[in-house]
Amino acid sequence: MKRLEGQVAIITGASAGLGRATAVAFAREGAKVVVTARRAERLDALVREIESFGGEAVGFAGDAALEETADRVFKLAKEKFGRVDILINNAGIGNYKLITDMSVAEFDEVMAANVRSGFVFTRAVVAEMIAQKSGQIVFVSSVAGLAGAAKESVYAATKFAQVGMAQSLDAELRPHGIKVCAFCPGGMKTEFAIGHGRTHELVAQSRYMEAAEVAEALVHLCALPANVRVPQVVVRHMG
């Protein structure tokens, strides 16, 4: 039996990095996946890849910070697969700068991508999960949500916010049989924040984890028995 057989998962920020790796990993473990991101051509390629090995997937291109996107993705999941069991709030961006160099527009952009997206998607699916008395919601935060660092004040603020939201929703939704987790990985070898505080050289020379390795941790988290919950998890490389 595949570990996520019969589960339906929504994954935001699925066009690259951890989101894409998670969609592939979930589909290989039997989950039906609904993927969303802003880049339609990448989503189409992802859906084709999943279908090539017998998985089931559907994509919707849109900005995860918009209420309309969340509502339409939820509706698509219901129409295509009949339910929603897992929500991976993975959409987000990184921008690492001194506070004096960060514009208000950049602040708003990071807050919307990292915090507002998780709010609108969680609100879109939670009534369905309450009705079915089960579900798993994961906020992909970061180790930056546990400890701040220089040039990360705005980014860390969003990641702390995700941890706080997850902790509060754990208390709020657990009586309904819904698990909520703050998932806090360290650096990964992806395009994340390239040109916004990271460089290709830095990532290539690092001990950062591969996205597929971290996706395996998400599979394990979402495949735990119904009576087992992990409110927070930290995933780090061996460097």
Q: Is 208 a catalytic residue?
A: no
CB atoms within 10 A of CB 123: 13
Which residues partner with 182 through β-bridges? 139, 232
**What phi, psi does 65 have (nearest 5°)?**
-80, -10
Measure the CA–CA gap between 71 and 101, rounded to whole angstroms.
Answer: 35
164 alpha carbon, distance to own chain's centre = 16
Q: Which of 74, 81, 139, 155 is catalytic?
A: 155
**What phi, psi does 5 have (nearest 5°)?**
-55, 130
| Strand runs labelled E in 114-197 | 135-140, 178-185
Measure the CA–CA gap between 92 and 118, rounded to whole angstroms.
Answer: 9
Three-state SS string over 50-115 comes to HHHCCCEEEEEECCCCCHHHHHHHHHHHHHHHCCCCEEEECCCCCCCCCHHHCCHHHHHHHHHHHH
CB 198 within 8 Å of CB 94: yes
**CB-count exposure of residue 127 (10 Å: 0-12, 13-18, 19+):** exposed
Q: What residues are annotated to the active site? A: 155
